[in-house]
Structure 1
Amino acid sequence: MQFGVFTVGDVTPDPTTGRTPTEGERIQAMVAIARKTEEVGLDVFATGEHHNPPFVPSSPTTMLGFVAAQTERLVLSTSTTLITTNDPVKIAEDFAMLQHLAGGRVDLMMGRGNQGPVYPWFGQDIRQGIPLAVENYHLLHRLWREDVVDWEGRFRTPLQGFTSTPRPLDGVPPFVWHGSIRSPEIAEQAAFYGDGFFHNHIFWPPEHTKRMVELYRRRFEHYGHGSADQAIVGLGGQVFMRRNSQDAVAEFRPYFDDAPVYGGGPSLERFMAETPLTVGSPQQVIDRTLGFREYVGDYQRQLFLIDHAGLPLKTVLEQLDLLGEEVVPVLRKEFAARRPAHVPAAPTHASLLRAQQDAAQQETAQHSTAQQNTEGSTV
């Protein structure tokens, strides 16, 4: 199972000091978080994509390329890549380039985004969000798998004899997660292609997450990609830890109360009771995270949001130390012990390449056997 962190890259005032970091400081902090993620032994760093204040990560591949040059084994991902307002040709080329630069340590999460004004900025209509997501991903999927593409759709100009460059590293496209909080159409899309399904798992109660994941699993099996429990699932979640749970709650409360996505709503205590937000001791984070398996089944990737709402970099790095030293080692051991042998691990470039090579060898063997049978029947 993979563990990591994701960031939305918000530039938010620290409610305890009133200071707002500059955009440059926030960008450098995200890079420092990525480096620390690898240092403490986690597997994945993922950045969001936003094109409006108060967020800074408007060019995820630029940031991930920079991080790739400063890390050795960290998987670089997004959370999310906007499949609705980005041209699928540009996505295909940008992420294939990043694949080559990072030696295959790349995957990405597709999403529609939750910022309505972004659509017209990129010449699109938010009312077409689902059709855009479906059509654009269909084209992207082909661009990575076909050397020459002829294509015509509703939302962009046709392609004739088009080749996306560079081609995916080793002929293996980046693995794709489809991220959604509430859209069953996206769970269906992930299942149709046999891709991963990532549920944000921050704002909604467990019952909702369970329904979305179960839908994806049923449809994954329906499309013949494997049994429902072999579907590839990822979860998000926000945590804040101190060794004493009361200290964690007291320190995090002002950040929660003033957070752009939390402030003005339910109390911190109610939010923790009704959603997966976990504020407390490392053991409480361990227990809560292990509990996710009870309603989503065995899953492959767990990402934590730890830098939201104006938390200073020093505090975020302390959170990473706690994750790396006290939380994730226990989670790795416990999840591994509970996972049945037939449930796959999270896909990586290496595992996808092996699968491709095995399939090619099997096809060659079958062709050779068929040829021998044909020759034998003519003797």
Structure 2
Amino acid sequence: MRVLTVNPGSSSVKLSVVEDGREVDRATVAAASAARARQPLADLVVRRHPIDAAGVRFVHGGLSTDPVPLDHAETARLTALTPLAPLHQPLSLELAELVAEVVPGPVYACFDTAFHARMPESAAHYALPRSWVREHELRRYGFHGLSCASALRRTAELLDREPAGLRLVCCHIGAGVSVTAVRDGHGVDTSMGFTPLEGAVMATRSGSVDPGLLLYLLRSGVTDAAGLDDALDRGSGLAGMTGTGGDVRDVLAARDRGDPDARTAIEVYLHRLRREIGAMVASLDRLDALVFTGGVAEHQPALLAELCERLGSSGCGPIPGAWPLTATGRSAGRTGPCGCWSCPRGRAWRSPGRRPWRWPPGPRVPVDPAIGDERPQRARRARP
């Protein structure tokens, strides 16, 4: 069976053809644009004709737990969820329409939220009036679930363990950033909530902010609801703190030039990530591996080293400058009860020719920079 997969991120669109579980072709559109994806999509379908079915990533699927065939009713349901994921949902809907034009077989919606649908109430519930919660289905949905599921599968193979038995903290670090505690094959806690705004600092998104501060901005006339929405989603995070587009590479370069705002921004970014990692560790009874996914995680190993320098209390050691893989994809060494594995996206299971790296003495949790899924976002700084 030959399946087309479409993965729209907040800064790119990734297209892939999978045949009998193996990727046979791919294309990347370096912009979050359906118009820019039209021709690469058509070319991919022609090259790999016939395509039997297609799957399109949707950030928000509500409480759906499985892929769903896209028909008029399902499209209407997903359209209604757009206010909860305004950076992502419209693009997925446009791409699904394009795919339906060129793929004769069924087109499925695959949901980031599905991985978290079994979160316990203690993690999913908001302490809000119960009438609001029941009437409006207010809960923490969680996101980046497809990335977490892929990271779980890859880490299980590298550790030679069953996925259902692993306890992971999965950090997706791209334009969007989230941290998820994984137990029994699904998310049991996560940093993102009702929308992809909650949690860690991101490229253009604020992450968690004191609700009282937001009420103050509205009451004092600094902005209105529409302006606040735009600022929190598109003009905050690294972009808002530095006056850049939010690309972490630009912020790191500015920090290296001595820019004080960039230095503070990176400190805040890393501090908030460490705090989220610590919270997820507390949601597990043990930690088998700390896994990093996403474009920033894959392409900024020095930044991951900074991130992990202060994670000693969780049993996680520093990230090496080189990917710690032998030619077989196994750990370069086991100096404690756990070794160190790495599986960046696009390198399959091997990274031959790279220098092996060993943990310093003492027990360490494996740290796995895996599956780059999302490039850092270059975006216009929105004005509130």
Structure (1 or 2) with the larger CA radius of gyration: 1
- Which structure has more relative contact order (CA 8 Å, sep 6+)? It is 1
Q: State the TM-score, normalizing by the size of structure 2.
A: 0.30
More helix by share: 1
Q: State the TM-score, normalizing by the size of structure 1.
A: 0.30
